[in-house]
A and B are shown apart, each in its own frame.
Chain A
Amino acid sequence: EDQVTQSPEALRLQEGESSSLNCSYTVSGLRGLFWYRQDPGKGPEFLFTLYSAGEEKEKERLKATLTKKESFLHITAPKPEDSATYLCAGQGGSEKLVFGKGTKLTVNP
């Protein structure tokens, strides 16, 4: 059975304190690894898609990387507005995505 596991469940950082979120996956025939950001009470907002091991993508203070077993979302010098829940999802042999339970990030000023 395909599975996506995110760690940690929650992370508190001080403003400017860089860190990484982890997404481990066992998805048969991975065709894409997706990262989303979700603010409280809202729908997830698409951030990145990674298709193959070694691929990296960046957007402002966020950088996503992919290996054959896991993906990382690196946050450089975070700001309070980066506080959100970050979701990771894998796509295997169908149109469906398998989601992790998310990492809740809090950045204190």
Chain B
Amino acid sequence: DVKVTQSSRYLVKRTGEKVFLECVQDMDHENMFWYRQDPGLGLRLIYFSYDVKMKEKGDIPEGYSVSREKKERFSLILESASTNQTSMYLCASSTTSGSAYNEQFFGPGTRLTVL
């Protein structure tokens, strides 16, 4: 059974703190993604990675950075958390589009609150 796990289900941080969200997949997928989901705005892509140490900006990268040192692990970093980064954060992974099956599999999400 495919599995994407995220380090925390709920997280509360203070404004200005550095925040790390971690995601691990066990499917040997090349691609990994970080989204945030807000009511009325849907899923928005923050960053994605198509290989180890490779990354590409999504639609809303400002205020975020990422790290992918190992194939199975993709970290999202909030350098200095702000209240407008309070959101549900979702990690996903997929194989490359050269494969017959290219769907993204999602983790359970991390509900981050920045006070």
Contact = CB atoms under 8 A, between A and B. Distances in A.
Interface stretch (A19-27, A38-46, A63-71, A75-83): A38-46
Sort chain B's interface into a size bin.
Answer: 20 to 34
B103 A34 contact: yes
A84 to B, nearest CB: 14
Interface in B40-63: 40-43, 45, 48, 50, 58
A101 B101 CA distance: 23
Nearest to B9: A41
A69 B58 CA distance: 25
Residue of A44, A87, A95 with most chain B CB atoms under a 10 A cut-off:
A95
Contacts, number: 52
B31 A95 contact: yes
Interface residues of A, number: 20
A32 B43 contact: no
A91 B106 contact: no
A36 B42 CA distance: 13
B94 interface: yes
B106 A43 contact: yes
A59 B69 CA distance: 38
Contacts of A95: 31, 48, 50, 94, 96-97
Contacts of A11: none
Interface of B: 4, 31, 33, 40-43, 45, 48, 50, 58, 90, 92, 94, 96-97, 101-109, 111
